[in-house]
Amino acid sequence: MNPKTTISITEARKRIFDLADEVQRPGNHYTFTENGKPKVVFMSVDEFESWKETLEVSRIFPDLDKDIKATDRAVKSGAYKKWPTLVDVMSDYGFAVADKSKKKYEVGSKVRKQSKKRS
């Protein structure tokens, strides 16, 4: 625990509005103690949301650091050029992908004029 950011709950109660302003700066937080033991961490909502997102990403991608290193090696060696493209992956999952060679699904570039109805 950092003694600069560790205070008793009693002291925090006295300074709550000042502390609330201080934790708005990125990286600032306080540990509140009760009877000398850590009890609560006080941080901004933005900081808390960032921690939650980080934990979620860590849960979904537990080996993210290894994946990043492997990707860096593949980029340096050129091996990434053999990887499937987004179009390949989307096609595998059944998404309709535009075939540019046949101009299928492409919007025309000419604006059509509406014909006037004759009465």
Residue 9 shares a structural domain with residue 44: yes
Residue 53 shares a structural domain with residue 70: no
Range of the domain at 72: 64-98
The alpha carbon of residue 78 and the mean position of all alpha carbons in its chain are separated, in whole angstroms, by 27
Residue 83 shares a structural domain with residue 50: no
Residue 79 shares a structural domain with residue 58: no
- 91-117 per-position pLDDT tens digit: 888 887 776 666 555 444 444 455 455
Residue 23 shares a structural domain with residue 50: yes
Number of helices and strands (H, E) in the chain?
Answer: 4, 3
Residue 58 shares a structural domain with residue 71: no
- 76-89 per-position pLDDT tens digit: 999 988 999 888 88
Short-list 58, 72, 22, 57, CA closest to 43: 22
pLDDT > 80? residue 43: yes
Mean pLDDT of the chain: 85
Residue 70 shares a structural domain with residue 52: no
Domain count, the chain: 2
